[in-house]
Amino acid sequence: MSLDMVMTDCGTMPYLRGCFFDIGSRCALSLANVRFHFEFEPYQINPQTDLAVIKPEMMKPYVWLQTSDDSIQQVEQEIAMFCPLICQEIIQKGMGSSKNCAICLPQQVSPAMLSLILDYCRFHQVPGRSNKERKSYDEKFVRIDTERLCELTSAADSLQLKPLVDLTSRALARIIEGKTPEEIRDIFHLPDDLTEEEKLEPLRNITADPRIRLLNRLYAKKRKELKERERSKNSEVEEHVDDRSVDDLLSFINGNDGDPKGVKTSKNKKKNRRKKEQQKNSSLKEVSELNKKEINGHDIRPRSSEAESISETSNLHNAEDDTSNPTPEFDDGYIDDEIDPALKEKLDRWDYFLTEFALLNRSYMNYCMPEEKAVE
Amino acid sequence: MGDVVGPDLISDLPQSIIESILVQLPIREAVRTSILSSKWRYKWASITQLEFDDKCVPFSNDREVVERSVVKFITTVLFLHQGPIHKFQITNWKLQNCPEIDQWILFLSRNNIKELVLELGEGEFFRIPSSLFNCRKLNRLELSRCELDPPHSFKGFLCLRSLNLHQVLISPDAVESLISRCPLLESLSLSYFDHLALTICAPNLKYLYLEGEFKDICLEDTPLLIEISIAMYMTDDIAEHFEQSSNCNFVKFFGGVPNLEKLVGLIYFTKYLSIGIDSVHISITYHNLETIELYQVNFEDTKEILVILHMITSSPNLKELQISGSSNIPVAVDAPDLDFWEKGCFSDSALNKLKIVKLSEMGGWRHEIEFIKYLLGRSPVLETLSIIPCVFDMENNLKMLIELVKCRRASSRAEVIFINE
């Protein structure tokens, strides 16, 4: 029995649901390169024409899909056809009708992602749903962790399923909106690999402002410090102020059983440090967390080996030394008990000012577009 | 960076996805992504849609300060942007007549702009520069509170599909020629125009929205119109013009819109249509017209009622009807002309598809009651008829209800809902 299949223009109808065709009993019909295998009961024969409408439920062909891990699964054709890429593969290339010629899905589609995408398709291809229902389903659908959301966006894009791409990108936009850059970097695991200069320029003209250049240098040093500290950090990080002078530490290493919490610190140093701490704490109220960490990092050492803390102390000295170089107000070789307390006071205040300025600049940068005039 | 941090989740997604994410962020946040990481430094700079609204700069009570920062922000963004810009939108009420806008439009005209929306603030209207007319690919144009003056040599926007001019200063000839020179125009919206006698030649026009003090509206070449919404305001000039007019506006207006599906008329539109209506025999049929909404209909004027009746009877597929009366209390003390309802060709016609009727601002006046009777008696598939009275006077509403209860209903399923709150 010859069979004629009448199909409307599939190229423009990716969401094909039913077809008109002439019935026989079990038969295989081929249309161009497409092969469908059916088994169905003859019914609803319209005597006027030889065509009959086959209800989609009667025809449940399956299509074979191969995911990124090379596993092959069988999926209801109707649902898979919701994805333009799959539809194209079936109709134009005739793939998917058996395990041997399974449609090879793009690399971004893992079995887990395919399952999610098929759930989406399964819900949305039912015509009777109200807009409200669909919207509500969509809202729930994107409540997944960010990593899977990104994977899903990528997979949907590779299958050219635009409605799902729009939905997931909207969800990602909502995640990004309103967050500080640090938070965003944290969520998406972005490396913080821009220098301060790069972050500010070209949105702000920095060449004119020597304070910014100074700041950048200070920040670079501080960041390096932090990196080193993080590397040596173990899980028991305790934030505490290490008030030990270099002499104390050295004597500890050399055999004295000093109290590691620093009872024997010189009073002067302790007083100054605490003052600095207090000053800094007051300015911390409006600052984002990372800034806080950095500032505290100035004074706080995690529990680490003594050698490390010595090198850190000396690093700290170096950092502070650096601040002394560009500005004429600093004297060389500072932060030492022998320094004139009045000068030390001055230096502390300048340090405080710099960090305040940096904080203001940072948080300003974070939340709005900076104006050209310098922050006073 | 450290071992606790996982692989980068997002930076390597294709640019089309990044763009669709960035475009859904407020512009400020999108630009801010440039400090996230080195890969993100310029991702924002190639987005093709830029939208600046009231929130794009920090708030300040001083309008001048805000204007300066908005101008600076937009200029910086445009300067740093690379690639085509398809959509550019400013809806910022603090922004008024700034010379920088000229430069932005010039820049956009060189960047394949397709959609341009400029909604500026009150105050001196900004004069649109001639570089706008060089935007060959313009697909959608929306302007508010500007002054538009197309040059004589302007050949039209050949790709324009949607035009929306709101409170725009433009000469009537210029607007007519602008419309007729945009061959693909599908949607036209003109609001707050004064004293315009408008002729529209737009062979592809599907959606028309007009609001303003129009003297006359002539739809000369609009065969594909599907939806019309017109609000006509009245001035003394226009009232005089109406009185002296000898046209039949109904025929003139509806003559060329056979495919009409939805009609909305507000304020004096019904009055406009009523001019000359009793002198002509109307025989047009609107097979696709399914929704009619007429507001501020004066039921005292039998000519306006004629307009409604003509429209209803010329639309065999009408499904939904919404009529709102005017809230004026009738001045005439003489008995209303009830013969009007008996004679006339309307008594024979049936409204075979009418399902939903909403009547609001009903004062219970004689003609209104007769109209309701007419509807109830001739709508075999009517499902709901809701009535909202305009006068919350128990006695008056009671009278209305008594009359309604007497009405014969052609549809057994009809629900008459009287909303009395």
> pLDDT by residue (tens digit) across A240-299?
555 566 666 666 666 544 444 434 444 444 444 444 444 444 444 433 444 444 444 444
Least confident of A17-31, A140-154, A267-281: A17-31
B119: enclosing H helix or E strand: strand B115-119
Contact B8 A368 (CB under 8 A): no
Contact A190 B32 (CB under 8 A): no
Is A184 in the B-facing interface, judged by CB distances under 8 Å? Answer: yes
B361: enclosing H helix or E strand: strand B356-362
Contacts of B73 in chain A (CB under 8 A): 369
Q: What share of chain A is helix, strand, coil (3-state, %, to 5)?
A: 50, 10, 40
Tell me: pLDDT of A373 over 80: no
Task: Provide the pLDDT for residue B402.
Answer: 87
Paired tokens of A270:
């302790």
Task: Answer yes or no: is the ipTM higher than 0.85.
Answer: no
What residue type is assigned to position A19 of the chain?
Answer: C
> pLDDT by residue (tens digit) across A95-111?
877 888 888 888 888 88
CA angle B37/B40/B46 to nearest 5° reads 165
Q: What is the mean pLDDT of residues A105-134?
A: 89
Identify whether the C-beta of residue B276 lies closer than 8 Å to the C-beta of residue B262. Answer: no
Contacts of A174 in chain B (CB under 8 A): 24
- CB-nearest to A194 from B16, B24, B38 is B38
Paired tokens of B109:
């005209």
Question: How far apart are the C-alpha atoms of A171 and A173, rounded to whole Å?
Answer: 5
Q: What is the CA radius of gyration of chain A?
A: 34
Contact B13 A157 (CB under 8 A): yes
Give the nearest chain B residue to A162 (CA atoms).
B17
Q: Is A287 exposed, middle or buried (0-12, 13-18, 19+ CB in 10 A)?
A: buried
Least confident of A51-65, A145-159, B89-103: A51-65
Identify whether the C-beta of residue B139 lies closer than 8 Å to the C-beta of residue B108. Answer: no
Identify whether the C-beta of residue A204 lies closer than 8 Å to the C-beta of residue A371. Answer: no
Give the gap in angstroms from C-alpha B15 to the nearest C-alpha of chain A.
Answer: 11
pLDDT band at residue A126 using 50, 70 and 90 as cut-offs: confident
Contact B37 A191 (CB under 8 A): yes
Q: What is the mean pLDDT of chain A?
A: 63
Report how many helices (DSSP H) and strands (DSSP E) chain A contains, helices first.
Answer: 14, 10
Residue that the structure tokens 């035009």 belong to:
B163
Question: How far apart are the C-alpha atoms of B90 and B10, rounded to whole Å?
Answer: 29
Is A173 in the B-facing interface, judged by CB distances under 8 Å? Answer: yes
pTM: 0.66
**Cβ pairs bridging A and B (under 8 Å):** 98
Task: Provide the pLDDT for residue B203.
Answer: 92
Contact A176 B21 (CB under 8 A): yes
- CB-nearest to B24 from A170, A185, A371 is A170
Contact A371 B36 (CB under 8 A): no
Q: What is the mean pLDDT of residues A118-145?
A: 90
Please name the residues in contact with A112: beta carbons below 8 A apart, sequence gap of 6 or more: A148
Task: Provide the pLDDT for residue A292.
Answer: 43
Please name the residues in contact with B65: beta carbons below 8 A apart, sequence gap of 6 or more: none
Q: Are strands A52-53 and A62-66 parallel, antiparallel or unpaired?
A: unpaired
Is B33 in the A-facing interface, judged by CB distances under 8 Å? Answer: yes
Contact B28 A230 (CB under 8 A): no
Contacts of B9 in chain A (CB under 8 A): 146-147, 150, 187-189
Tell me: pLDDT of A11 over 50: no
pLDDT band at residue A315 using 50, 70 and 90 as cut-offs: very low
Question: How far apart are the C-alpha atoms of A203 and B35, rounded to whole Å?
Answer: 10
Q: What percent of chain A has pLDDT over 70?
A: 41
User: How confident is the prediction along chain B (421 residues), in pLDDT tens digits per residue?
Assistant: 444 457 887 888 888 899 999 999 999 889 888 888 888 888 899 899 999 988 888 888 888 888 888 888 899 999 999 888 999 999 977 777 788 899 999 999 998 899 999 998 888 888 999 999 999 899 999 999 989 999 988 988 999 999 999 999 988 889 999 999 999 999 999 998 877 788 899 999 999 999 998 888 888 888 999 999 999 888 888 888 888 877 788 888 888 888 999 999 998 888 888 888 777 777 788 999 999 999 998 888 888 888 888 889 889 999 999 999 886 665 555 566 767 777 666 667 788 899 999 998 887 788 888 888 888 888 899 999 999 888 767 787 888 888 888 888 888 888 888 887 6
Contact A188 B5 (CB under 8 A): no
Please name the residues in contact with A143: beta carbons below 8 A apart, sequence gap of 6 or more: none
Q: Which residue has the higher pLDDT, A213 or A84?
A: A84
Residue A171: count other Cβ atoms within 10 Å of its Cβ. 21
Is B38 in the A-facing interface, judged by CB distances under 8 Å? Answer: yes
- CB-nearest to A169 from B17, B38, B39 is B17
Paired tokens of B341:
């309802």
Contact B20 A181 (CB under 8 A): no
Task: Provide the pLDDT for residue A25.
Answer: 37
Is B7 in the A-facing interface, judged by CB distances under 8 Å? Answer: yes
Is B82 in the A-facing interface, judged by CB distances under 8 Å? Answer: no
Task: Provide the pLDDT for residue B357.
Answer: 93
For A248-286, b/e burial (b = at least 16 CB within 10 A) is: bbeebeeeeebeeebeebeeebeebbeebbebbeebeee
Residue that the structure tokens 């962790």 belong to:
A145
Task: Provide the pLDDT for residue A356.
Answer: 58
A297: enclosing H helix or E strand: helix A289-299
Is B75 in the A-facing interface, judged by CB distances under 8 Å? Answer: no
Nearest to B155 by CA among B132, B178, B130: B178
Give the nearest chain A residue to B2 (CA atoms).
A231
Contacts of B24 in chain A (CB under 8 A): 169-170, 173-174
Least confident of A229-233, A278-282, A363-367: A278-282
pLDDT band at residue A303 using 50, 70 and 90 as cut-offs: very low
Contact B26 A177 (CB under 8 A): yes
Question: How far apart are the C-alpha atoms of B155 and A118, rounded to whole Å?
Answer: 50
Q: Is B34 exposed, middle or buried (0-12, 13-18, 19+ CB in 10 A)?
A: buried
